[in-house]
Structures are given as C-alpha cells and as structure tokens.
Amino acid sequence: MRFSALRGAAATSAVLSILLLLGACGGGNNSSNKPTQVVLSPTTLSLNEGDVQGVSAIATDSSGNSVAADIAFTTSNSNIATVSTGGLICGGVWDNLSTPVNCNPTIGQGGVGQVTITATATAFNLSATATVYVHLHLDQVQAVVSGGCTTSGQAINISGKAFSTTAPGCSPSAPCDITSTVGPFSFGSNDALVASSSAGIDPTFSSTTDTPTYVSGGTISGSKGQTCDLSDFNGVIGATATVPLTGANTIASGTQLTITASGHGASSPPTTATLSNGTATCSGTASVSTELTSGVFTAEVPGATTVFASVSGVNSVGVNYMTCPVQSIVVHDANSSNTTFTLAPQGVQALTADVYDTNNQYITPAITWGSSSAAVATAAPGTTGNNPGMATAVAGGTAYITATCSYPDCNRNVDAQYGQNVVTINVTQPSSTTAYAASTNSTSLVPINTSNNTVGTAITLPYMPNSILPGPGGAAVYLGSSSALMEVSVSSGTVTSVPAGAGTIVAMTADGLYLLISNSTGNNLVYFNLSTSAVTGTAGGTTVSSMFTPDSKVNESLLANTNQLEFGPQTGPLGTIMLPSNGTAMDISGSGSLTYITSAGGRQIFAYSTCNVNLDPQTFAVTNPTLIKALPNATGAVAADSPDIDVITTPAMLNAGCPITTQSSINSYNLNAGSFTASQILVSADATHAYIVTDLPELLSFDLPSLTPTSVPLMLGAIAASGGITADGSRIYLGTSDVTVHEIDTASMTDAARIEVGLKDANGNPTIPNLVTVLQ
C-alpha cells in the first residue's frame, strides 16, 4: 500500500503534527529537573495492514512537568510494523525511514501480528512502550452482550467481534473472523447514565468484604459518589456518606466509610472531596480502594439503552442492553418495619426504601421522594443508611410519603416503578390555614382565616377567573382565566399574571413546578413550567380530568368527548391509549401505582397500571359512575354513582414490578339521599371520610371505616358549588347559592357558619362564590 497515494494530505498532516510535537518536546520547558519517566500516548494501537497512526512521547520529571530530552523509537518486529523517527507507525514497512513516503503493507497473514513500539530517552535510559496490533483490513465490528440484564454497579458482560470482508479470501457472504488479531475493544452506549466506562465504581458498601475501605493519607480517588460533600464530584448524582472522625479534622487510619446513598453518572473519578461528620470537616485526607477496575464497562442507572463495541476506528451497530430495572420499592422506618408515625411540627422521621432490581438484588439508585401534602410534611432524601429518606413535619394534618423510581433519574427508558406502599405521617397540631373564595363572575379573591372565619381584604384580580388551585406548601394560589394565568402570593396578596398560561387550570404537580392548563379557545392542552413561566409542551384537544403522579414526573389526562387517555412527562404529551369507552373522570392512587378512571357511558370503572397504561386494566361493572377520587393512603378510591357511592378497595401492599396484578375489589353503598348530580368529591387526608358536593341542599358524607352514609343539611337550603377541606379534615368550606361560604364542622357534622365574602359581578350584584379552595 502506497502511503503517499492512499493517505495523501492526511499523511502529510500526521507527519507534520508529530514532527512539531516532538520538536516542542525536545525543547521541554527549560526545566533543569532530571526526567523520571517517558510518557507515551496512546499505549495501544490497532492498525489495518498498510495503515498509519502516530504516537507522542515526552519525558517528565517527578512532578509531571515536561523535561527536554531526545526520544528515539524502535520496533520489536520490523516485518509487521515500523516506526519513523517522528513516531509515525506503519502497519507494514516504511520504504524510507529517514523521509517516510510510503507505508508498504505485507498483505495477508504474513503481515498480521503484535508489535511493541518503544520510546526511549537515550540520555537518561528511560523508556515506555506501546502495543500495536496489525491485522487484515477491518470492515465490520459486532458487540456481543450476554442475555438478561446487569445489576447496577456490576461489570457488563460484553465483548466484541471483528470481521474482514475485503481481505484476500474474505467476502461479505463469507467474512473472515479476525477478532483475535485486532487487540482490545472499547465499549460505549447511547446513554452513558445507564452504561459507561467505569472510573472504579463500587456503588454499595459490602459488609462481607468491607469494601470500599478508606484509609488516611492521599486524596480520594477511584470511586464515584461516596463522600458527604459531592461538590467536587464531576457529574455524580445522588451519593452521600458519613465517616467517623477521631478529631476535628482527622480520619483515623483504616477508618471504614459508611455509605448512605450511592452515586452514579460521572465518567472519571474525583481527585479531591470533602468528608464531614456533623460540623467537623476534613478535606483531601483519604484514599479509597475499589472492587472494580478503572475502564471497566459498568452498569449504572437502572434502565435501557443500546451499547456498541469499537476497535481500530470502526464502531459496531448498537445492541439492546439493560441495567436491571427496579421492580420493588417498599418504604418504612429507617430502623424498623413501622410505616405510621406521629410527629410534632418540625419533627423529623428517618425513612428508608428497600429497593430491589429484576435480578432480586438490593440496589441504591436515585429514587424520588414525595409527599401528598407539603403543608403537612415534606419529603426529601435522607443522609443516613441505604436509600435514605426524611419526612419533616410542618403543620397539623396527615401526609403520605412515597418513593418512586422513574425517568430520568431511575428506570431510564423503561417502565417506572412506583412504591408498593406509602408511609403515613400524622402531625399533631390544630390546623390553621386560609380558605379562598372567588367567582367566575367577579374579579375579587377573598381570603378567609380558618381559625376564626375572619374575612380578609379582597384581592383584585386582573381577569375573571375560571379555575382555582392551591399551590403545594401554601405559598401561593393559582387562578386560571381566558386571558392569563394568575399567581397570588399568600403572604403579600400580590398578583402576577402570565399570558402564556391562559386557560383552565386542571392539574398541578406535587412539587409545585408544573401546571396543566386546558385552553378551550385554542382547543389544546398547555404544559406550563411555573419556575420559568414558560410553556413546555402542547397537545390538541381539551381535558375533562387530569392528574400528575405523586413523584410529579408524569401527567395523565382524559381528552374531552373521546375515549382517549393521554400520557407523558410533566413537560408534554408522549402518547395516547384508547379506553374501552369514553372516560368521565380520573385520579391516580396515593402511591402512583394505579390510575382509576370512570366511564359513565360505559358503566365501568377501570384500574390501570400507571407504569404502563398500554396494559389491560382491571374493570368493574357499575351503574353510572361520574366523579372519582383516589384515597390518599393508596388503599383505593371512591366514585360518585348516583344514588350510590362506589368504594374501590386496593390492598395496602401491591405486587412488585409492572403491571400491577394485585386485584382490587369494589362495593356500592346507597347514600340515602336519592338521585343527585355530583360536582366535586372531597376526601379527608386521613382517608376516613368522603364528601360529595351535589345539586342537593346538603353535603353528602360517607364514613369509610364503618361504611355508613350521612349528610349535612345546608342552612337556608343552599346548594353548594365548590369547596375545599382543611389538611386536618376538621372543616370544609363551601361556596353556595346563597352567595356565602359555609363552614362545615366535620366532627359534629353540622353547617357551623355562613361567611359573607361580598363577591360582586361587574354590575355590582352579589354573585355565587363558585371557586373555593383551602390551602394545604
């Protein structure tokens, strides 16, 4: 093979680059330090017969600084590969080593072999070597992955194969396997968070092998995500740990680091980090030994991707691969199996999630913690133990804590795994919050102090509202309108409007970051990011009912006048499924695992697996189900089915994996009120009572533990339009036809007060407060 003819300008560029590089190396940095080593790069090359590739070599001192030195190159087998004085390697023989022009290959098996190239700083007797694999022309590479999946943190069983179809005796129909001659393969993936080359990952601490082990001296290296402070960890996600200290800034020799949450995502190890224990800190005084070797292709975040093999500049096509997905999440006390706790405000409960993958291996992925009511108790990752969580009490009421493995942090590109149970946090403090009353015929918003029913100063809105939702945590109230989205600050009463969010607010994420808005004027759904005040996605049609999952990552919506359920991330739609009949209303269970849908026309209620709504649902035959509300403790749902209430009972512990095969049951109970049309269902946070707002002059109630109905007659025969319930379930506020707001005392089941809110239309006439909510 003639180098000049076949390589042309590329060869000239390579020669000039190497010569320039070596010229720079020879000059060094004018350091008078004596070199201690020769650094050669790359150290492994794979060449077709007749191909050319360059290496660089520099001499360095003990501090890694380059030092002036003359470098000479030699080859261990000049019949297979030769090297120029400037470091250009020919997969064959240069025809003139002093002025390289042509690289002449030895065609066929005679030119195949492994050669060692040595770079020597002759004046100092220092050298370094590179291994060169010369092979038949490489045309195809294949990646071979073992069947099944690989548990997170383990080395992936992957290999490569190489084939020639153009060498003598080879053809596309009969390729020659040249795998043994091409040298080591490298591996990559199209999602480096699922599979990537390891920097020495050891994602979980092993009590059996006591690894990884930290010892004093040096810097932290070779492992990802195993320190308290992750600020120095390039790209690592979700890792925390603690280490005992013998003094204010001392780590005892041989000290074992306690891993509290593993990390993933980085492609190289950190060089420094900060370890902390309480207020004591210690920087850069530990080193770590790991079980895996740097450069090993390793399973990281649970999920699916494609992987490929590469050698000699040729990549294989992608092959499907999976890091074993999470299939089981059970949440409980960090130190016991308890799942119910009573806390005073600001009290903290340490939690843990038992997380197993499809290989039934315990793993520590980046799970998402969520709370059903951030105003009652917040949920966040914890700092102690494996898969730690932390619930912090805020104010009186009941909240339910969930843990989820879902895209993009966990179970990437595969079905989400929702928790099989929830943890109950009861906060012992009388609830005092604010109710808000508005009307679709008024531009006023009236706050009501629930501790004494005092009406505050009316807030003037720039537009007539059409919907109202309280923001999680009680910091803001959101109102929709045909002109703009309106955000009202609870503390100041300031109104901020965003025209991009025009429409009816139909759903909000539990973390308060996203809204779904149904815009009847544009006949579309608008996915809206509150933190950026920007639309993140749209979809055609409007919705009759919508809900986000408890982890705030997925939205589902029933498209109006169709039998379609639309689903997708919080930023926009992904797809739709066809229901057996038109949907009327929907809700998602407290754990996120199940989606309950009513179909009045089909006389059915469906229970879909939220992880994959394409799978067949469990179906219940009923009479005329309209509205449905999931019980916040994830034990079922209630549906209005005049003159009855349908109670769906779902076991508190669901099966692992997707789909949900745990069967729910249903029973119907007469509410003893005759026929009614339901406009709203309210459920107490402790999941003991369901309340149905109807076109009757009473509030219907159903005691779930005793399965008994009752009702609260409304004063003056008023008809309720809209309402909200306090976080502790003690009071319900209803806007009614007598243009007042009624306070319902749920303990005595009485209409305890009529509150004059003074809402008026554009002509100054009193108007019904048909938009009422309570901060949670």
For residue 426, the tally of other CB atoms under 10 A from its CB is 18
Residue 478: φ, ψ to 5°: -115, 135
pLDDT of residue 776: 81
Give me the pLDDT at residue 97, please.
59
**Exposed/middle/buried for residue 98 (C-beta within 10 Å: 0-12, 13-18, 19+):** exposed
Strand boundaries in 316-450, DSSP class E: 319-323, 326-333, 340-343, 348-357, 368-371, 377-381, 388-393, 397-405, 417-418, 423-427, 434-438, 444-449
3-state secondary structure of 157: coil
Q: For 126, list phi and psi in degrees, rounded to 5.
A: -115, 140
Distances, alpha carbon 597 to alpha carbons 104, 105, 418, 700, in Å: 73, 71, 18, 22
pLDDT digits (tens, 9 = 90+) for 389-400: 999 999 999 999
* Prediction pTM value: 0.82
Residue span(s) of the chain under CATH 2.60.40.2120 come to 3-135
Domain with CATH 2.40.10.480 in the chain: 463-550
Query: Looking at 290-304, 451-465, 494-508, 643-657, which range is the least confident one?
Result: 290-304
For the domain spanning 327-427, the CATH number is 2.60.40.1080
Kindly report, residue by residue over 502-512, the tens digit of the pLDDT.
999 999 999 99
Dump the DSSP string for 658-671: SS--PPPEEEEEE-
According to the model, what pLDDT value does residue 384 have?
Answer: 75
pLDDT at position 295, please? 62
Q: Which of 259, 267, 247, 266 is nearest to 288 (CA)?
A: 259
pLDDT at 64: 81
Question: Mean pLDDT across the stretch 337-347?
Answer: 96
**pLDDT digit string, tens, across residues 684-738:** 999 999 999 999 999 999 999 999 999 999 999 999 999 999 998 999 999 999 9
pLDDT of residue 32: 55
> Residues 579-598: pLDDT tens digits?
999 999 999 999 999 999 99
Neighbours of 580 (CB within 10 A): 14
Whole-angstrom Cα distance, residue 458 to residue 767? 14
At 445, the pLDDT band (50, 70, 90 cuts) reads very high
What separation in angstroms does the CA of 64 have from each of 21, 33, 34, 534? Answer: 17, 11, 11, 50
Task: Say what the pLDDT of residue 100 is.
Answer: 61
Please answer whether residues 264 and 201 qualify as being in contact, where contact means their C-beta atoms are separated by less than 8 angstroms: yes
Mean pLDDT of 509-527: 95
pLDDT tier at 473 (50, 70, 90 boundaries)?
confident
> Side by side, which strands form the sheet with 644-649?
628-630, 636-641, 644-649, 665-670
CATH 2.60.40.1080 location in the chain:
327-427
Q: Which of 36-50, 211-225, 230-244, 246-260 has the highest mean predicted lDDT (pLDDT)? A: 36-50
Query: Average pLDDT, whole number, for the chain?
Result: 85
In angstroms, the Cα distances linking 610 to 322, 385, 564 are 21, 29, 15
How distant, in Å, are the alpha carbons of 517, 519, 577, 584, 719 from that of 540?
12, 10, 15, 18, 35
DSSP 13-28: HHHHHHHHHHHHHHHT
25 vs 400: CA distance, rounded Å:
65
pLDDT in tens, 360-386: 999 989 999 999 999 999 999 988 778
Q: What is the pLDDT of residue 147?
A: 85
Distance, CA of 145 to CA of 152 (rounded, Å): 16
Q: What is the pLDDT of residues 309-336, one digit of tens each?
A: 999 999 999 999 999 999 999 999 999 9
Helix (H/G/I), strand (E/B), else coil: 741: strand
* Least confident piece of the model among 120-129, 139-148, 223-232, 515-524: 223-232
- Report how far residue 348's alpha carbon sits from residue 377's, in angstroms, rounded to the nearest whole number: 9
Q: Cis ω on the peptide bond leading into residue 659 (within 30° of 0)? A: yes
Question: Is residue 175 scored above 70 in pLDDT?
Answer: yes
Pick the more confident residue, 295 or 28: 295
Instruction: Please check the confidence at residue 658 and state whether its pLDDT lies above 60.
Output: yes
Which pLDDT tens digit goes with each residue over 74-126?
999 999 999 999 999 999 998 875 566 789 998 899 999 999 999 999 999 99
3.40.50.1970, 3.40.50.300, 3.65.10.10, 2.60.40.2120: CATH of 3-135 = 2.60.40.2120
- Fold classified for 463-550: Thrombin, subunit H (2.40.10)
